[in-house]
Amino acid sequence: MRILPSWTRSHAAQLSPQRRDFELVRATSEEFDLVIVGGGVTGAGCAVDAASRGLNVALIEARDFGSGTSSRSSKLIHGGLRYLEQLDVALVHEALTERGLLTSRIAPHLVHALPFLLPVKSQAQRLYYGAGLFAYDFLASANRWGRGVPHHQHFGKAATQRLFPDLNDKYVGSIGYYDAQTDDARLVSTLARTAAGLGACVLSSVEALGLERGPDGISGVKAYDVESGERMTLKTTRVVSAAGVWSDEVTGLAHGRSGINVEASKGVHLVLPREAIQGDTAIIDRTPWSVLFIIPWDRHWLIGTTDTSWNLNLAHPAASASDVAYLLEQASETLGKRIDISAVEGVYAGLRPLLKGESDDTSRLSRTHAVVEPERGFVVVAGGKLTTYRVMARDTIDRVTRDLPYVQPSRTEYLPLLGADGWEYYLAHTAAVAKRYRQSEDVVSRLLHRYGNLAVQILELMRQQPQLARPLAGDEQYLRAEVVYAARCEGALHLEDVLARRLRVSIETTDRGVKAAEDTAGLMATVLGWNETTQDNEVACYLDRVAAEKRSQQQPDDNAAENARMAACEIRRVLELSTSR
């Protein structure tokens, strides 16, 4: 199969409402080489890998693409300094190689180099950290794709203060180095669209219910369309579970044990306005219990993360008051200034799927990923990290296809994601693009860094409908055209899909998107054909979600926080109840 440049696949990669109707028919009429359960970064990556090898593949996700762990990370593409300290050299080398691939070839429009400062308290600590960063740079340079960001350098106290005026003056200096940053949710939706452009059947709001079996083993996946309430069977003899923290639940569909056990670890992040902290780089520092990140995020700062066991609801991990207080305390200690809770704009919590070994063979896998086949034709991939999604996908599809003849090896190392081709050309000619579409250079640059070459589609939409060039109500950064584009081309089916993932209004505004809800729902209604009742339900559920999250963040512990969060309605649950009557 010839790999087409992403710009030639942009039309085929539109996840429109009409495309979804077509895919639902296709899901019940075709026989697939492979069905992938789970639409996070790993599942979407598996779909890209499989489709690029010429397989007929279906990807199903019970909620929205990236709605779990993959949209709630620290948003870093990095090698992992702490893994180097643990002497997991192979994992660090692998991650650094992927970092280089993503920044230079696969997704340069989505993954960008980010400067960090690592503060040091003594010269002995400088030598220790410096040796680690020398190894970090060496491992990055050991592979031609591992490069792509500058090497580390040392700064004295005065230079450190110039780079980050709000850093605590207890530090004698710092070491500067680079990693990379991405909008994790946008990366996932771009992977899903790339898979669709390669011919994959891509469906969100379709939940796997179980496996169907025939005389020769697996014959299909029983599934449920959350939007319509209809049940279906996707015909296939091979299934991949890429369900992250839900891996144990999905493995239960096979009525067997996978040999691995996934434990959920909660990571909480705070979002602050950029003016709350004076600094020009990201900060990484140690705390007694975890690693502290203070990361610039466009007009904001991200502060994270916690690392605590979570045994409650997997769909809606809740941040408690103690989580928020802990992060504020640790950030205040590193910065040498008190960060008050009043400065917090947004809070989000995600669950990291950690591998917990059930045998001597799997116990060592907790910091990497595992691919197992508990039943012939049923493959489970679990663990890993955002940075290494492509390697996880490659290993998974290698396992799935090992007994299939004439299947090509993975080609994703050479496959740019949708929006990547020609991105640098557009960026170099931002002024000309801005002049052509009568927009400011700032607007064009921001769109290019979010959509790559597909930014032109949004600019064209704004030219055709000038009212869509206005900012979204309640958030001056995002444009109304982006909402229409999300519903028309990016598979957004509900208000939360747009405000929490296609855009990041839910964590980037002090009201968590309340002011934007009505405007956004009205724009989506024109694309998705919502009536007034549906539109009102979408807004009501979103506002209820925001209120519940705020209540949860005032609770003292995880149990109380979860009870507060779970009191909110969820639009897909509302649909499920209405269609089951």
- pTM, rounded to two decimals: 0.95
Task: Give the separation between CA 178 and CA 163, rounded to whole angstroms.
Answer: 14
Superfamily of domain 80-178+263-355: D-Amino Acid Oxidase, subunit A, domain 2 (3.30.9.10)
Q: What is the mean pLDDT of residues 278-304?
A: 92
- Percent helix / strand / coil, the chain, rounded to 5: 45, 25, 30
Task: Look at residues 74, 96, 73, 92 and name the one whose alpha carbon lies nearest to residue 84.
Answer: 92
**CATH 3.30.9.10 domain span(s) along the chain:** 80-178+263-355
Per-residue CA distances from 78 to 155, 339, 386 (Å): 22, 27, 9
**CATH 1.10.8 domain span(s) along the chain:** 465-579
pLDDT tens track for 427-437 = 999 999 999 99
Task: Look at residues 124, 121, 154 and name the one whose alpha carbon lies nearest to residue 137.
Answer: 154
Q: What is the pLDDT of residue 526?
A: 97
Q: What is the pLDDT of residue 415?
A: 96
**CATH 3.50.50.60 domain span(s) along the chain:** 6-70+186-250+374-414
Tokens 């948003």 -> residue = 75
pLDDT tens track for 454-509 = 999 999 999 999 999 999 998 889 999 999 999 999 999 999 999 999 999 999 99
What rounded mean pLDDT belongs to the chain? Answer: 91
Task: Give the separation between CA 185 and CA 517, rounded to whole angstroms.
Answer: 19
- Containing H/E element for 286? strand 282-286
Q: What is the pLDDT of residue 144?
A: 67
Q: What is the pLDDT of residue 538?
A: 96
- Is pLDDT at 78 greater than 80 in this prediction? yes
CATH architecture of 6-70+186-250+374-414: 3-Layer(bba) Sandwich (3.50)
- What end-to-end distance do the CA atoms of the chain give, in Å? 46
Q: What is the pLDDT of residue 192?
A: 98
Lowest mean pLDDT among 92-96, 327-331, 522-526, 568-572: 568-572
Confidence bin at 361 (pLDDT 50/70/90): very low
Pairing of strands 282-286, 346-357: unpaired
**Largest separation between any pair of C-alpha atoms in the chain:** 73
Answer with the residue of higher pLDDT: 81 or 450.
450
- Residue 529 has what DSSP assignment? T
- Is pLDDT at 366 greater than 90 in this prediction? no
Task: Look at residues 481, 460, 479 and name the one whose alpha carbon lies nearest to residue 471.
Answer: 479
Q: For residue 84, give the 3-state DSSP assignment.
A: helix
Confidence bin at 572 (pLDDT 50/70/90): confident
Bridge partners of 405? none
Phi and psi, residue 264, nearest 5° = -85, 130
- Is pLDDT at 221 greater than 70 in this prediction? yes
Q: What is the pLDDT of residue 342?
A: 94
Size of the chain, expressed as the number of residues it contains: 581
pLDDT above 70 covers a percentage of the chain that reads 93
Task: Give the separation between CA 369 and CA 375, rounded to whole angstroms.
Answer: 19
The radius of gyration of the chain from alpha carbons, rounded to an integer in Å, stands at 23
Contact at 8 Å (CB) between 198 and 48? yes
Tokens 């909660």 -> residue = 266
- Is pLDDT at 288 greater than 80 in this prediction? no
Confidence bin at 8 (pLDDT 50/70/90): very low
Q: What is the pLDDT of residue 81?
A: 85
Task: Give the separation between CA 396 and CA 393, rounded to whole angstroms.
Answer: 5
pLDDT tens track for 294-349 = 999 999 999 999 988 899 999 889 999 999 999 999 999 999 999 999 999 999 99
**CATH class in words for 465-579:** mainly alpha
